Chains A and B, each alone.
Chain A
C-alpha cells in the first residue's frame, strides 16, 4: 500500500511538472499570448518613391529594402507599381529591389510596403563580419591631424568597443582644430562618419555604415548608424553621440556606403517613409506568423487542425473541466448527481438551448416524464416496455414544445436538437431507475443535484477566456489529471457529511 502511495505521488508529480513546464515553455519561450485579448504591435511601413521620368530613356530604379533577417518578422511585403518590372536581389547582406520600365514619362510613383511584427521571430543566424581592414590612403596635413587625434584615443581606450566610442566623441568635438581640418567645414553626420571611418581604418578597426528606420509614426528619413564586428557580434554606435547599442525600435534598412536609391533615366527622385502602428489580436498574429515564416510552433498545437475540427475541439477540451466540477462537487461537496457524466452532458446540451431556457425545459420535460412514469406504475408494466413508453412520450413532448413555441414566435423552442433530446431521454431513464431503486425523495434530490452540477459545469465551460487558455495550452489538462489522481485517494469528509454527522457533536 505504501509503495502504491509513493507510486501515485511520483505519477502526480510527473504529470504536474510536465504540464507546468510545457505550459511555461509555450508562454515564456514561444511567447504564445495567455489571453485572447492580448494584442501586439504591427508595423506598416510604406516607402513612397517619386521621380520624374525622362521620356526617351528606359527607366531603372534601384532601392534597398530591409534584409528581413533581423529580429522582426515580416508578415507581408509588396511592391506596388504600374507598368514596371520588379526584381529583388541580395547584395552583400542587403536586399535591393529593381523597378524597370522601357518607356515612362512624367511623374512616377512607386510604393514599397512592408508589414512586420517583433513577436515570434525565430533564432537569429550567427553574425559574421570582418575584424581587420586596411588603412584608407591619407596624406599630408590630414595624416598628421588624424595621427594627432588617434594618440589620445588610444590612451583612453581599452578595447575595440571603447576605442570606437572614444573616436566618435573626439570627432564630435568640432572645436578641436584637428577635427575642423578633417571635416573641412562640413559637420554633417555623413561627413563625420567618413572621418570616423578614416580614424578607425588607420587603427585597422573595420567599420560599416548602417541605415536605419525608427518604428514610430513621425515622418522621417533613414538615420545613419555605425557598426563594427568584434569577432562575436556587431556593435552599433550613434555617430553623433557615441551612444552604443541599437535601440529596440530600429529596423536596419540597409548597410554600406551606397545611397538608398539609384535612378537611371529619370530625375529628382524623392522618398518618403510613412509608418503606422496597428494592433492585432496576438493569437491571430501568431497564426499569421506561422504561415509566413518557417517557425512552426503552432504546427503541433490544436491550431494546426482544420477550422471546423478546431471548433469541435474547443467544446471537447472543456469536458474535463466539467468532469472536474462534478468530481469536486461530489467527492468534496457530497452533492448527489445522476452518475458522473450525465451532468456534463446536460451542460453540453445547455450550450444549444442556453442555460435559462435549458433549465426550464429540463425541469418541465423531466417532471412530465416522471409523472407519466408514476401513472404507468399503476398499470403494473414491466420495466423495459414502461421505459420505452416514457421515452416515446418525451420525444412527442419535445416536438410539441418546439411546435408551440414556434407558433408563438419563440425561436428558442426550436433549439432542442437531437443532442439535447438524447440527453433528456437518457436523464429521465436514469432518474426513473433511481426512483425505482431508492424512492421518489431520493430521485428528486438527485435531480436537483444534477441540475445544480450541470449549471455550474456549463457556466465554467462557457468562460471564453478559460476555453481559449485550455485550447491553446492543452498541457493544463495534465495538471488537472494530477489533481484528479490526488482526489482518487482523498479521505477527508465531504461537506454534507459535516452536517450528516452533526449528531456526534451534541452531547
Chain B
C-alpha cells in the first residue's frame, strides 16, 4: 500500500499522464464527438487532407457497393502494386497489400498468389462490415502502396514502420517511431507487440524505446540499437502533423505517418484517443508538455495571435526538443 502511494507520487512528479486524465482533460475537452467520423473513416480523412494540401498516399479509388466491385479492374489497371483497406477498420485487420502481378494474378507482400476472384471476395467481406468496428457496412479504399525508406531496414522486422506524433491544439508534443516485430506480425500497434521508440522533436534522432511496457535499447528481432538513428526529413513530419489540427478540428490527436522512398512523409491516419505508451518510449510524461502548450495557447489568445503550423513546430522544438541522451 505504502509502495503504491510512493509510485503514485513519483509518477505524478514526472508528469506521467493516466487514462483518466487523458480522457477528462484532453480527449473530452478538446475532441468534439461530432468530429470523430473525420478520423474514424480513412476515406473522409484522406479527402480532407487532400483539400488541405497535406500529403497522403494517393487514392486510386473507392468501392462502396457490391456492384462497384466490377470497377476494381479499371481502378488498378495502371498500378502494379496497391493496397486495399477497409475505411473504418481497426488494428490493421482486413488490409490487403498487393506487391506485384504474376501471370494475370496478384502477389501479396508475403509472396502469396491470389486470383482476381479472391480479391473480389475480400472486398465483399470489407463491404459487409467484417472488419469494421461494430460490424457496420463499410467501404473499401484502394490506394498507393507505401515503400518504407531503407533507413528503417536495420531496426525493423517486416511491415511498415510508422511515426506517431501527438498533437495538442496544433502543437506537436511528443513523437514516437513504431517498429513492427515478429511478435506483432508486421503490424505497428504497440499492444500487439510492436516497439515504440522515442524521437527528439528538434532533431529527429531516435531515443530509446518501449516494448510491452518495458524500456529497451535494442530491437528484439534484429538486435540492432534503436537509439541514435537520424530520421530523414524530420521537419517535414513535424509540419505535416501540426497541420492536422486545421484538417480535422480535433484538439488532441495522434497523427500516424510513414516515410515513403519516393514521396517522403505521408499521413496514414489520425487517432482521437492516442495511447499513453509513447510516454515510456520517450521516458517523459505528457502532462507537463501538454500544460506548457495550453499556457502558450492561452497567452496567444489573450494577444489575439494565431500561429501558423511552422511557428507552432518551432515553439515545440525549442521547448521539448534537444533531450539529453542517456549515457
Contact = CB atoms under 8 A, between A and B. Distances in A.
B125 A382 contact: yes
B226 interface: no
22 contacts: A331-B20, A380-B125, A382-B125, A382-B130, A383-B128, A383-B130, A437-B91, A488-B24, A490-B20, A491-B20, A492-B8, A492-B18, A493-B8, A497-B19, A500-B213, A501-B279, A503-B213, A503-B280, A504-B11, A504-B283, A505-B7, A506-B215
Most chain B beta carbons < 10 A, residue from A331, A437, A494, A505: A437
Contacts of A433: 134-135
A40 to B, nearest CB: 43
Contacts, number: 79
A504 B134 contact: no
Interface residues of B, number: 34
A384 interface: yes
Interface string B85-117: 000001101000000000000000000000000
A256 to B, nearest CB: 72
A489 B134 contact: no
B296 interface: no
B19 A494 contact: yes
B29 interface: yes
Given A383-B130, A501-B279, A503-B215, 17 more contacts: A382-B128, A383-B128, A384-B128, A437-B90, A437-B91, A491-B21, A493-B16, A493-B20, A494-B20, A497-B19, A498-B7, A498-B11, A503-B214, A504-B10, A504-B280, A505-B11, A506-B215
Interface in B281-306: 283
Contacts of A503: 210, 213-215, 280
B212 to A, nearest CB: 10
Interface of B: 4, 7-8, 10-12, 14, 16, 18-21, 24-25, 29, 90-91, 93, 125, 128-130, 133-135, 191-192, 210, 213-215, 279-280, 283
A384 B125 CA distance: 11
A504 B285 CA distance: 9
A248 interface: no
Contacts of B129: 383
Contacts of A331: 20
A126 interface: no
B20 A492 contact: yes
Given A489-B24, A492-B18, A384 B10 contact: no
B14 A504 contact: yes
B118 to A, nearest CB: 11
B218 to A, nearest CB: 16
B296 to A, nearest CB: 16
Contacts of A442: 191
A489 to B, nearest CB: 6
A491 B128 contact: no
